Amino acid sequence: MTTTAASMDTEFQFPEIYNFPPFFTRQPNDSTWKEQRRMWCDLILSYYKYNNLSSMTLAEAVSDPLFNNKQIHRSLRVDTLREVVEELVKQGNACWTGPKNTRDACLIFWRKPEAWASIIHQWASENGMFNMVFTFFELANGDDTVEQEFHGLDPLTLRRALDVLQGQGKAQLFVGTSDEDIGVKFFHSS
């Protein structure tokens, strides 16, 4: 904890519970486990938000500092992590990616797609971007969006957010030959 405090600018500051050894053991007691899982979910989301991360491969992630506390020599097991992610998926804060039923990789939404969608739509209305067509690349990496929070957003997350907008009738997606080529047009909210 002292090291994290010294280099606060660059490194994520872990909460106290991170140094509590039982935190890394899956608790057999149900009520205890629910609390533990909630704490892990919170920790994962805030860590991913801080480092602006989105995708996670479970087998690799367990060696990350997030799940492997070198100070107390404890690390989270993969199956326990999978249970935590399962809970995140249930809450809508994550989704499984990769082959079906393998549950080896996932996307973590530290901000839910719905929230992203409203941020993007907000930006479009503020900058008078309605009825104009953008490519995904323009939205995520273009010069117009440099100042925005969603600049540099993971394409999969962006796609989820725009799907939400399309579902609300606030945008229209144009599917090209590949995922990179997808275009989008924003509308006034009806």
How near is the Cβ of 2 to other proteins at its closest, in Å?
Answer: 11
If binding is defined by CB under 8 A, does position 36 make contact with other proteins?
yes
Q: Judged by CB under 8 A, which of 12, 27, 46, 86 binds other proteins?
A: 27
Burial label, 116 (beta-carbon count in 10 A; 0-12, 13-18, 19+): buried
Residue among 13, 35, 51, 188 that touches other proteins (CB under 8 A): 35
Q: How many CB atoms lie within 10 A of CB 146?
A: 9
Stretch 72-111 residues interacting with other proteins (CB under 8 A):
72-74
Q: What is the DSSP string of 30-75?
A: HHHHHHHHHHHHHHHHHHHHHTT--EEEHHHHTTSTTTEETTTTEE
The answer to whether residue 169 forms part of the interface with other proteins (CB under 8 A) is no
User: Which pair of tokens denotes residue 77?
Assistant: 């097991």
Under rule CB under 8 A, residue 21 binds other proteins: yes
Residue 7 contacts other proteins per CB under 8 A: no
Tell me how far apart the 2 most distant CA atoms of the chain are, in Å.
55
Q: How far apart are CA 161 and CA 103, in angstroms?
A: 22
Task: State which residue, 26 or 49, has the beta carbon closest to other proteins.
Answer: 26
Tell which positions 39-58 bind other proteins, by CB under 8 A: 39
d(CA 82, CA 58): 7
Question: Is residue 28 a contact residue for other proteins (CB under 8 A)?
Answer: yes
Interacting residue with other proteins among 12, 20, 96, 187 (CB under 8 A) = 20
Helices 155-167 + 113-126 axis angle, to 10? 80
If one asks whether residue 32 binds other proteins (CB under 8 A), the answer comes out as: yes
Could you say whether residue 3 binds other proteins (CB under 8 A)?
A: no
Structure tokens at 33: 């486990």
Binding site for other proteins (CB under 8 A): 16-17, 19-22, 24-25, 27-29, 31-32, 35-36, 38-39, 72-74
